[in-house]
Structures are given as structure tokens and as C-alpha cells.
Amino acid sequence: MPMTRRRALAAPALLLAGPAWAQTSVAQGFPSRPVRMVVPYTPGGVSDITARLMADPLAAAWGQPVPVENRAGADGVIGTEVVARAAPDGHVLGLVSVGHPVNAAYYKLPYDTMRDFSFVTQTTSTPLVLCAAKNFAANTPAELVAHAKKNPGVTFAGTGGVVRLAPVLFGQQTGTELTYVPYRGSTQAHPDLMAGRVDIMFDTVPAALVHIQSGALKALATTGAKRAPQLPEVPTIGEAFLPGFEAATWGMVIGPAGIPAGLLAKLNADCVAALRRPEVVDRHTVLGAEVVTSSPEEMRRLCLAEMEKWGDAARKAGIVPQ
């Protein structure tokens, strides 16, 4: 067969192989410099701790430093925008929380929650706990609903995100009217909650646990799909009263949109390996969080589902993005 004909027959195969070769080349050349891990929140929270626990094993795997960069502000919007505007070469990643999809219900964002990002993996899941002062009238979710219907004006402390919207969703699904009292953070809300100046709070287990263990607060239920390991005697709302009810905070690694598929697969594999290290899992357990990993597509689906779920709850509550 003449060389020219052989080349002609081979050309389509070479064209098809081109994109795959290019993606493999990009993945093999990564990283060529330090990889920034942007955390759009203040130091000390679960997202920040997760990023720092991942940084060392990722640096060892990649042969480049992985500095964690806190870019807090506007409920995570400022730091998240940094990730959205970065080049899609894997050298800028972000570690965000469930606040990423929830923020679309509160703000007119400078980026599109889904379109402007690549989704690498889920990192953690942390349930909330429905808690109240030790002398509050109700001891279970059913008693809370009965009490709220007989005594309009039951208040809940909220700090934004799912901590604010979980009681909104609970009220919508149970036909109860709960009044929102805003706080900047759990540490500001807890004194009023313990004193009975505000009635209930759906707080993260790690934030409320010390007060529950001391007896200053009581746990009526948790909000995960299963019981929280730190509160094994406390039933979930789903099993005790409202089947299917679930609310949790979680984390995920994201990057800018357009990361090539081969590189995205490498980022996923390396991040998952870092998260599954025993010392990383154990540290999260102490914090009250569970390490949960996923494929990029699974993470994308979860993010979209959460955005629709909490966005619907916010719209029904009359919350308009500002």
C-alpha cells in the first residue's frame, strides 16, 4: 500500500487520538508550580481544617507546595470568585462548603454557581443538630411542632446558609411558623439559646456538641441521613418524625470551569487519596465531620440538587437574592 494512502487512512485515527493525547500530556505535566488551595472562609472552620489536612499529602504527591489561602468575605463569595476567574490548569483550587450552592438563594453572584466551576470531589459531610435550652418545653421534633402550633412566635437562631434554611424547610414541611433571629455566628447565638432568649437552633454538631455534653443545651434530633456518631442516642428527624428530612453542611474541592478531563481525573484521584488517609479521617471524626468522597459527576449532581432544594425553600420563605 502506498505511503500516501496509508497516511490518509491513518489520519482520522490520529485526529481522534489528538484530544486524548493532549489531555494526558496536560495531566502528566501537572503541577509545574505551587498549587493554591483557596478557602473562602476564616481560619479554624471545617473547610479550612480539611484544606490544611489535605495540603501535605497533596504536596508530597505532586512535588510542589500546596499553600492554603484564606480569602474570606461575603459568605464565601469573594474567595470563590478568585477560583472562578483562575486559569483552568489545576494550579488554583478551592475548598468550599454547602454555602456555595446556597449562596445563589441569597445573593446576585458575580459568577454562575454551576457553569463557572469544575467539580473535583466531595470532602466531608456534617449533620446539624436541632437543639434548645435544657428547660425548653419540647424534647422531640413532634413536641416542638405541637408547641409551635399552640404558641405562635417560636424563634430560631440562624447564621446564614443551611443553618438558617434548615429550620425554614422544617417549618414549611410541618406547617409551623418559626421566626428567624439572625446571628453572625454560633458563638454569638449560643448564650441567648442557653438562656432561652431564642428558642431553638439548627446548628452544626461540632459547634453545639460541647454545650450538649455539658447539659446547657439539649438535642431534640439530628438532621443527617443516619445518626451522628457523636450523638448516637439522638434520633434523626427523618426516623423520629419527618421521613426524608435531611440537612447537612458539606465540603467540596472545586476548580475553574474548563479543566481538561484527564487533569480533572488526576485531581480527583489525588484529592480522594489524601482525604482517605487514616489520620485525615480520624481528625475529621474528632471534629464531628465524616469524610465523604465522590466522582466529579457525583459532586456536580449533589451541588445542583442542593441549589434547587435550598433555593426553593428560600423562595417560598420570600427570600430574594440581593
Q: Is residue 235 over pLDDT 80?
A: yes
Q: How would you label 159-181 residue by residue, b for 16+ Cβ within 10 Å and e otherwise?
A: bbbbbbbbbbbbbbebebebebb
Q: Please report the pLDDT score of residue 16 as a whole number.
A: 53
Q: How many helices (H) and strands (E) does the chain have?
A: 12, 10
Q: Which amino acid, 195? A: A
Q: How confident is the model at residue 5 (pLDDT cuts 50, 70, 90)?
A: very low
Q: Which residues are bridge partners to 248 per DSSP?
A: 127
Exposure of 316 in the CB half-sphere (CA atoms within 13 A): 16
> Are 68 and 39 in contact, with CB atoms under 8 Å apart?
yes
| Interior angle at CA 283, CA 82 and CA 281, nearest 5 | 85
The fold of the 127-240 domain, in CATH, is: D-Maltodextrin-Binding Protein; domain 2 (3.40.190)
Q: Is residue 1 over pLDDT 80?
A: no
Residue 283 C-alpha cell reads as 481528625
Q: Is residue 46 over pLDDT 80?
A: yes
Spans of all domains in the chain: 34-125+248-316, 127-240
Mean pLDDT of the chain: 91
Q: Please report the pLDDT score of residue 248 as a whole number.
A: 92
- pTM: predicted TM-score of the whole model, two decimal places: 0.84
Q: 34-125+248-316 architecture in CATH?
A: 3-Layer(aba) Sandwich (3.40)
